[in-house]
Amino acid sequence: MAARTRLPLLFPKNLPPFRNQKLVHTEAAVKEPAYPPIVHSVTAKSKSALRQKALQHVQKICASPVEEKLSLVTRIQRKKFVVYPQSFARHADRWYQHFTKTAYIPGLPEKFTLPAGDESSPPAAVPGIEDDAFADLRSMVTRVILQEHWHIKKRKPFMYREQEQVVGPMLRNLVTGLTYSLAKHNPLFLLSSLDVNPQVNFYWRRGERIIPRGHRRGRLEPTRFQIDDHPHSQIRITQQLPQFTPLEASYAAEVPEITTAPNMMPLFRRQYDNNIFTGAKLPDPACYGHTQFHLVPDRYHRDRMARRQESDQVEVFLRANGLASLFAWTGAQAMYQGFWNHEDVTRPFVSQAVITDGQFFSFFCYQLNTVALSVETDANNPRKNLLWGTESLRLYEGVKDGEVVGLNDGVIKLLVQFLMNQP
């Protein structure tokens, strides 16, 4: 450059200010673009026009408030796979993991202490609960169990209605009793809402397929899924629970990949209203989830499955149930905050669930790290959702002569720890 600039013969003493614009600590003046950006036209009959239309639709959804976002995302009705959380299909949990991009981690996060198998050492006290309070809770649990199984004079429950008629009221009493007793230890519960038999719905898109027959043959179509879940009860709170692990920790997790179509699971398609619902409408202040309680369906019998040598499917069923229900709930919570497929969550959403059939309790924790599950957004998305779960733990052995035999303190402690989870 120096060779090209012609210096005057008489070198002036006051040099003009720096002519070289490429200095580090000065910035070139930012020029406002004089014309709007050139985009592909929307009205032409071309592939770029289709892409532009899709892009403009996405931008429109991003720019609108939350209610409009929800209604725009769930507006068009098309055939979709209806995912039932309580499914008797074999290996249902692997399929559901693939649909929701979830990795399963056996055991619970470090916050919770699992009750050890058959150790005789007394369980360590729950932080925040003294022994007297724990003894009160223990007596309340025995009272609830005895009420349903011993004190009430009941006829034998109708066929396949035992869960609804016996375990349902017991769980309701247990949940209400526990939340009431723990309200003084956990200030969240003072402003929380306990729903009885709520509805939780979620709608999302995951993979793609080429339409084999019909007037749209040969075109790509995203596979749509819908979960309609009816948990027994759930607790919704006003603040969000803290995350179990940071987002980056989920990058290393493994999600099973399944190449066959969801039809083979077996899973069936239907077309009806796409719903996204946490259990309460949008303006409700208690929009974050805390714990869900699920009852096992009446046709699920461990002993029958053991007789048919299907003992491994017992745990598979519970895991699939926890996974689907919690994914639907956390996903709906995230949508209520305005995060959707193209706007991924900035903070992880966390919820817990307890699935029980009266005697056996299984505990699940779910961390939603990503909602971007459709093909275009999932291409470079290293985040995965995480599910922690336990095997089913027995709460009590039986009821004899007005006494509960073999009450497992570890399970009660774990229940209490679950409910005491607060930010």
Partner 1 sequence: MILTLGNPQLRIFRPNWFLTLVRPGREQPPDTAQFRIPMEMTKYDVKNYLEKIYNVPVGAVRTRIQFGSNKKRNHLNQKVKQPDYKVAYVQLAQGQTFTFPDIYPEKDQVVAEGSMEEMQEKFMEDEKQRQKLDPRRGGVTEWFGL
Q: Which two tokens stand for residue 90?
A: 């074999």
Q: Tell me which residue of 201, 190, 354, 184 sits closest to 276, measured CA to CA.
A: 201
Quick check: 209 binds partner 1 (CB under 8 A)?
A: no
Quick check: 220 binds partner 1 (CB under 8 A)?
A: no
Least distance from partner 1 to the Cβ atom of residue 312, Å = 9
Quick check: 159 binds partner 1 (CB under 8 A)?
A: no
Quick check: 264 binds partner 1 (CB under 8 A)?
A: yes
Least distance from partner 1 to the Cβ atom of residue 151, Å = 36
With CB under 8 A as the contact rule, the residue among 140, 258, 280, 399 that binds partner 1 is 258
Task: Quote the radius of gyration of the chain (alpha carbons, Å).
Answer: 28
Can you give 274-343 as a three-state secondary structure string? Answer: CCCECCCCCCCCCCEEEEEEEECCCCCCHHHHHHCCCHHHHHHHHHHHHHHHHHHHHHHHHHHCCCECCE
Of 123 and 256, nearer to partner 1 (C-beta) is 256
Least distance from partner 1 to the Cβ atom of residue 262, Å = 11
Question: What does the alpha-carbon distance between residue 369 and residue 360 come to, in Å, rounded to a whole number?
Answer: 29
CA dihedral (335, 285, 388, 243) in degrees, to 10, reads 90
Give the interface segment with partner 1, choosing from 20-28, 309-317, 382-390, 395-403 (CB under 8 A): 309-317
E strand or H helix at 51 = helix 47-63
C-alpha separations of 15 from 8, 12, 20, 197, 235 in Å: 11, 6, 13, 83, 75
Question: What does the alpha-carbon distance between residue 365 and residue 110 come to, in Å, rounded to a whole number?
Answer: 12
Quick check: 210 binds partner 1 (CB under 8 A)?
A: no
Question: What does the alpha-carbon distance between residue 50 and residue 43 come to, in Å, rounded to a whole number?
Answer: 9
Of 5 and 259, nearer to partner 1 (C-beta) is 259
Of 82 and 249, nearer to partner 1 (C-beta) is 82
Q: Which two tokens stand for residue 365?
A: 């924790």
Quick check: 266 binds partner 1 (CB under 8 A)?
A: yes
Quick check: 255 binds partner 1 (CB under 8 A)?
A: no
Quick check: 247 binds partner 1 (CB under 8 A)?
A: no
Quick check: 90 binds partner 1 (CB under 8 A)?
A: yes
151 within 8 A of 404, measured Cβ to Cβ: no
Quick check: 310 binds partner 1 (CB under 8 A)?
A: yes
Least distance from partner 1 to the Cβ atom of residue 260, Å = 5
Q: Which two tokens stand for residue 200?
A: 């939780």
Give the interface segment with partner 1, choosing from 87-95, 139-147, 160-168, 194-202 (CB under 8 A): 87-95
Give the interface segment with partner 1, choosing from 35-43, 85-93, 110-118, 198-206 (CB under 8 A): 85-93
Of 300 and 418, nearer to partner 1 (C-beta) is 300
Quick check: 309 binds partner 1 (CB under 8 A)?
A: yes
Task: By CB under 8 A, name the binding residues for partner 1.
Answer: 89-91, 258-261, 263-266, 309-310, 313
